[in-house]
């Protein structure tokens, strides 16, 4: 009997223009959390999709309990005890929790002695038991569309548990969770470990890995670098092995010099009484203004209001003394304001379109001949300039953006807005879900833009990022601005004090 519940040996996988996996190894022990780490584009998700039957391997072997197996598709993977909770959740919002959990494998019974129908009573009873097991006590008959992202994630974990999985893949499970929700997830992980489930844990958050990981496997550029006990690794060790070099600084040296006040917001209040209200702040030329606060502070809602996505009842926004009338995003774009949204996949990239299309889509009207036809040569030059400036790793400008890593997708989105040459750039969680190497590249781009005189507003839920990148930090709580902190004086303690200043 093998000591490993599952092994992947010499796995290779190529896509047009890129070798995603090059003879990669992975060995999972029962009852252990195996952290799988690497920069965006290292091949982590591709390897997991091969394990789960979404992709077919070009070369290599998968063994369960030491015996070679073929995994034809995800249903076959589930039948063999392998379950996966994807980073991008795709529930059916209009159906109930129970229906989502048992999708494709409903418990059946016979009506009139011979007609097979879904046994709803058993389905909901089993769902209640599963939810209890993953420490969530909401109604099995509740519509999934009414749940929070973290609750949807719990439904996905319950679905995996319902399959009596022996291997559970968790891909970036905490990217959208609050601190309390993360703790709840960790308790579920500990329960599954105690039952002997092998867990593959993909995350860019070093503190999580070092806290709950038993073993760490690191990949780089589609290749296997090695596996180590988590107890023998430090954050610096992991980063060095991930990026292939030492990162002496997590944040670039800052050379931007904030100038005169150019952007001013006065008494800005949402049409929704539970959202942002009576917000006042100023933004200087060449300044990086960080925006901090806890989940529910209404930071994103405020920025969406300034960009014209949300309505407001009172308030005045001026740029260099001239009032801006922004009632829809096009108004913002036309008046030199751009916004990078926090939900890269949901409201950022257009996955089925090319890198070129995604970069140029917001500025095509600048590349029209006689106002009627697109000058493709100029558009391609724009795209190539941005690919070079942003160091976007892509086989070609015609590649579908959904096939790029998260970090490269984010750079494409930054390039999209820079093509419009905005004066004010709002960045909402610009490094969410991307690795430490790609983060550094994004930070360098932000610092360079500020040095060029762009005014940057950066929302971030990472304290270190706020402190490391901001010239000033504006803190919000419950829809209000509770204070400003100079970047040089910022600490986690004084940010948190303002972030919890409820009325």
Final residue belonging to a domain, choices 214, 243, 272:
243
pLDDT in tens, 60-93: 999 999 999 999 999 899 889 999 988 766 788 8
**Greatest mean pLDDT among 14-23, 187-196, 413-422:** 187-196
Q: The tokens of 119 are what?
A: 């046994």
pLDDT in tens, 300-347: 999 999 999 999 999 999 999 999 999 998 898 889 899 988 777 667
Q: Within a domain: residue 252?
A: no
Residue 217's pLDDT is 95
Final residue belonging to a domain, choices 399, 421, 443:
421
pLDDT in tens, 5-49: 999 999 999 876 678 899 999 999 999 999 999 876 788 888 999
CA atoms within 13 A on the CB side of 327: 2
pLDDT in tens, 213-252: 999 999 988 899 999 999 999 888 888 888 776 556 678 8
Residue 484's pLDDT is 97
Instruction: Note whether 239 and 291 are same-domain residues.
Output: no
Question: What pTM did the predictor assign?
Answer: 0.65
Residue 227's pLDDT is 95
Final residue belonging to a domain, choices 187, 215, 243:
243
Task: Pick the closest to residue 138 from 168, 112, 101, 170 (CA basis).
Answer: 101
Sign of the four-CA dihedral 79, 84, 88, 92: positive
Residue 125's pLDDT is 92
Instruction: Note whether 59 and 202 are same-domain residues.
Output: yes
CATH number at residue 119: 3.40.50.300
Task: Give the chain's domain count.
Answer: 3
Give the Cα separation of 433 and 410 in Å (integer): 10
Instruction: Note whether 28 and 129 are same-domain residues.
Output: yes
**Are the CB atoms for 318 and 291 separated by under 8 Å?**
no
Strand intervals (E) in 142-222: 167-171, 198-202, 215-220
pLDDT in tens, 265-292: 999 999 998 899 999 999 999 999 999 9
Residue 129's pLDDT is 87
Instruction: Note whether 319 and 357 are same-domain residues.
Output: no
Residue 85's pLDDT is 85
- Please state, rounded to an integer, the average pLDDT across all residues of the chain: 88
Task: Pick the closest to residue 449 from 250, 254, 247, 251 (CA basis).
Answer: 254
Residue 401: domain span: 352-421
Residue 178's pLDDT is 66
**Are the CB atoms for 442 and 406 separated by under 8 Å?**
no
DSSP structural state of residue 400:
B
pLDDT in tens, 466-502: 999 999 999 999 999 999 999 999 988 899 889 888 7
Instruction: Note whether 229 and 273 are same-domain residues.
Output: no
Instruction: Note whether 324 and 359 are same-domain residues.
Output: no
Instruction: Note whether 382 and 434 are same-domain residues.
Output: no
**Are the CB atoms for 73 and 53 separated by under 8 Å?**
yes
Q: At what angle do helices 406-418 and 436-451 cross, to 10 degrees?
A: 10
């Amino acid at each position: 009997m093998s000591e490993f519940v599952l092994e992947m040996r010499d796995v290779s996988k190529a896509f047009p223009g890129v070798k995603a996996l090059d003879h990669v190894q992975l060995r999972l022990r029962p009852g252990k959390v195996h952290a799988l780490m690497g920069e965006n584009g290292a091949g982590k998700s591709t390897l997991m999709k091969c394990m789960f039957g979404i992709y077919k391997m070009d070369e290599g072997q998968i063994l369960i309990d030491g015996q070679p197996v073929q995994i034809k598709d995800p249903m076959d993977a589930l039948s063999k005890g392998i379950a996966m909770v994807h980073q991008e959740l795709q529930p059916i919002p209009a159906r109930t929790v129970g229906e989502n959990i048992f999708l494709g494998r409903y418990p059946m019974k016979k009506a009139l002695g011979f007609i097979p129908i879904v046994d709803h009573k058993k389905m909901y009873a089993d769902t209640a038991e599963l939810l209890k097991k993953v420490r969530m006590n909401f109604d099995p008959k509740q519509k999934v569309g009414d749940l929070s992202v973290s609750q949807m994630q719990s439904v996905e974990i319950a679905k995996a548990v319902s399959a009596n999985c022996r291997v559970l893949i968790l891909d970036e499970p905490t990217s959208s969770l609050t601190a309390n929700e993360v703790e709840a997830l960790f308790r579920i992980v500990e329960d599954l470990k105690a039952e002997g489930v092998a867990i593959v844990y993909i995350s860019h958050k070093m503190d999580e890995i070092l806290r709950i990981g038993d073993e760490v496997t690191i990949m780089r550029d589609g290749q296997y670098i090695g596996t180590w006990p988590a107890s023998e690794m430090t954050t610096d060790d992991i980063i060095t092995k991930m990026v292939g070099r030492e990162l002496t600084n997590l944040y670039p040296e800052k050379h931007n010099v904030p100038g005169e006040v150019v952007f001013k917001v006065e008494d800005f209040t949402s049409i929704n009484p539970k959202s942002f209200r009576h917000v006042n702040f100023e933004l200087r030329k060449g300044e990086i203004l960080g925006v901090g606060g806890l989940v529910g502070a209404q930071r994103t809602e405020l920025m969406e209001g300034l960009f014209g996505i949300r309505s407001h009842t009172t308030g005045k926004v001026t740029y260099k003394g001239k009032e801006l009338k922004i009632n829809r995003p096009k108004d913002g774009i036309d008046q030199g304001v751009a916004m990078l949204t926090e939900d890269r996949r949901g409201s950022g990239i257009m996955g089925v379109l090319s890198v070129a299309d995604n970069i140029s889509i917001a500025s095509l009207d600048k590349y029209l001949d006689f106002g009627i036809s697109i000058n493709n040569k100029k558009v391609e030059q724009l795209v190539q300039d941005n690919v070079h400036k942003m160091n976007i790793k892509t086989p070609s400008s015609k590649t579908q953006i959904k096939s790029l890593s998260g970090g490269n997708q984010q750079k494409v989105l930054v390039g999209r807005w820079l093509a419009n040459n905005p004066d004010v750039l709002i960045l909402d969680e610009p490094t969410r879900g991307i690795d430490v190497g790609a983060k550094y590249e994004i930070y360098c781009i932000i610092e360079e833009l500020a040095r060029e005189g762009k005014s940057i507003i950066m929302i971030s839920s990472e304290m270190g990022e706020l402190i490391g990148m901001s010239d000033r930090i504006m803190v919000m709580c419950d829809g209000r601005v509770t204070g400003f902190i100079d970047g040089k004086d910022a600490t986690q303690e004084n940010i948190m004090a303002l972030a919890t200043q409820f009325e």
